[in-house]
Amino acid sequence: MVKYIFVTGGVVSALGKGIAASAMAALLEAKGLKVAIQKLDPYINVDPGTLSPFEHGEVFVTDDGCETDLDLGHYERFTSFRSSVVNNYTTGKIYFNVITKERRGDYLGATVQVVPHITDEIKEAIRSAAAPDLDILIVEIGGTVGDIESLPFLEAIRQFRYHVGKENVLYVHLTLVPFIRSAGEMKTKPTQHSVNELREIGIQPDVLLCRTERPLPAEMKRKIAIHCNLDADAVVSALDVETVYEVPLAYKAEGLDRLLDKKLQLNVTPPDTTAWESVVDRIKHPKHEVTIAIVGKYVGLKDSYKSLEEALIHGGIANNARVHLAWVDAEAIEKNGPESLLAEVDGILVPGGFGIRGVEGKIMAVRYAREKKVPYFGICLGMQLAVIETARNLCGLRAHSTEFDPQTPDPIIYLMEKWFNHRTGMVEERTAESQMGGTMRLGAYPCVLQEGTHAFAAYGAREISERHRHRYEFNNKYREVLEQHGVIFSGLSPDGELCEIVELKDHPWFLGCQFHPEFKSRPREPHPLFTAFIEASLKAKMDFFPES
Ligand code: GLN
């Protein structure tokens, strides 16, 4: 029987519900349980694929090609669980399903309403993620209690306990206990209000996770417990920590695993958190330091590169190094040249992106990395621009991507009309109208590596699988001329048609990949390409400053 933990948030947004759910999952997994996590998002977009990264942060891509909320990235990084289409539902997706059924005549003349039709659909969505082999499904409800938008979700999870039995459901509420500096005191009132709000709609939380700057004194926990009608040990302080990967350990220290055991009758062994302890130790006490420039467009909102940032930290963990990130605005490179902004860094990374803004600045960064022999890692757009740069400056082509210049004489990056999807065994086609919007190459695709390359050395395998999210591809017409000028096509699709990884001869480490390796990197299993890139950057730094 699957047991359910519903996580809601109160008081303010951005308290880190995603991290809280993930850390709880990590702790339960460390007890030997099989855990999955689902996110229910109150916004009306059917998926976050069309949301601006400025507003909503990164779009996380699953193996099965879904564009999902960035919290799913946290879920995967903290656990061994792999998410899919059933792990992220939005209000839009729920309504879309209900309206589709209504048009099909499924409701047999009934008036279709929020209760029961929308709430039933939400419960169905929750069940769809509860595979029978799971011990626990953690469901995170986006938004803050009190928002109009999240009400149907809260009503659905209230009803859920009724269907599956009290002993199988736990409500965890994440709140803030602020420290008011002028009064020198922590305040519990916002937490009380938030719990009242939940109780008004019929949900009595079983556990309160209180975000605090300072440890919550026992008598304050007692006070919250009495006001909120909770067991005294059910108020857990979630103290700010140095690295998010410390949260599972902080929860363990607070006895959260024992509390969950007791409440859900889990009866299993204590969590083995040694792997998390070593991750945290490596992050906090590294031997080396290295600085990586990320040349991008959304450098103002770091959440737009969340997985990337984490993957770089993981590469650091693998190399016992602290990775400092230098966020460089590509347009500033256009204005001031690469030298002034990139001279101090040990490695340069151009991440994925859409739209022409900053593209020439990114190409200048590629050229700088190539000519100065600084380790370069290009991801998706960063790979496409690496190809454009080498085509222009090594092969003398007037190359561009048709995304940015539809009339370019040398369309070295272009829209492919058809490609074979090895995952589904189907030929994917792009029609005239889909060229405008949809039809991205999304999700996991296999890639075959060429021996004797940086890619092969990093992965130590011949065939790999990585996740994609892009429309444009390398144009094979230009493969030969690039090869003549020292470009190596080190990773191809199994049929040889799709160019997935490029490298450069005569360069310490210059690699571009069409996929997004950052989506598969975990602190306990750093991604091989990030490990290799950080290693190369460290080496470049040490060659320069041998004593460091
Ligand atoms: N804009 C490019 C494309 O659509 C790259 C996308 C990306 O970097 N994710 O192909």
**380 is an active site residue:** yes
**Ligand 1 center to residue 305 CA distance, Å?**
14
Q: Give the model's pLDDT for residue 155.
A: 97
> For residue range 306-344, what is the model confidence (pLDDT) as tens digits?
999 999 999 999 999 999 999 999 999 999 999 999 999
Ligand 1, atom 8: closest residue by C-alpha: 352
- What is the pLDDT, as a whole number, of residue 436? 45
Q: Would you list the DSSP string of 493-547? A: -TTS-SEEEEEETTSSSEEEESS-GGGG-BTTB--HHHHHHHHHHHHHHHHHSTT
Burial profile 336-364: b = 16 or more Cβ within 10 angstroms, e = fewer: eebeebbeebbbbbbbbbeeeebbebbbb
**For the CA atoms of the chain, what is the radius of gyration?**
25
Domain ranges across the chain: 3-278, 287-414+474-544
Q: Is 525 a catalytic residue?
A: no
The pair of three-digit structure tokens given for residue 20, joined into one six-digit string: 């809280």
Task: For residues 10 and 200, give the distance between their C-alpha atoms in angstroms, rounded to a whole number.
Answer: 14
pLDDT score recorded for residue 321: 96
User: How far is 179 from 436, CA to CA, in rounded Å?
Assistant: 50
Task: For the domain made up of 3-278, give the CATH fold.
Answer: Rossmann fold (3.40.50)
The pTM assigned to this predicted structure is 0.93
- Three-class SS of residue 43? coil
| C-alpha span between 358 and 382 (Å, rounded) | 12
CA distance 418 to 424: 14
Catalytic one of 314, 518, 527, 535: 518
Is any atom of ligand 1 closer than 6 Å to the C-beta of 3?
no
Helices 119-128 + 91-104 axis angle, to 10: 110
- Residue of 312, 296, 379, 314 whose CA lies nearest to 346: 312
CA distance 239 to 177: 10
pLDDT in tens, the chain (548 residues): 999 999 999 888 888 999 999 999 999 999 999 999 999 999 998 888 777 766 778 899 999 999 999 999 999 999 999 999 999 999 999 999 999 999 999 998 899 999 999 999 999 999 999 999 999 999 999 999 989 999 999 999 999 999 999 999 999 999 999 999 998 889 999 999 999 999 999 999 999 999 999 889 999 999 999 999 999 899 999 988 999 999 999 999 999 999 999 999 987 789 999 999 999 999 999 999 999 999 998 666 668 899 999 999 999 999 999 999 999 999 999 999 999 999 999 999 999 998 899 999 999 999 999 999 999 999 999 999 999 999 999 999 999 999 999 999 999 999 987 878 777 788 877 765 555 445 788 999 999 999 999 999 999 999 999 999 999 999 999 999 999 999 999 999 999 999 999 999 999 999 999 999 999 999 999 999 999 999 999 999 887 665 55
User: CATH topology of 3-278 equal to that of 287-414+474-544?
Assistant: yes
Distance (Å) from CA 382 to ligand 1 centroid: 9
354 lines ligand 1 (CB under 6 A): yes
CATH homologous superfamily of 287-414+474-544 equals Class I glutamine amidotransferase (GATase) domain (3.40.50.880)
Q: Rounded to whole angstroms, how far apart are CA atoms 68 and 519?
A: 12
Is residue 485 part of the annotated active site? The answer reads no
471 lines ligand 1 (CB under 6 A): yes
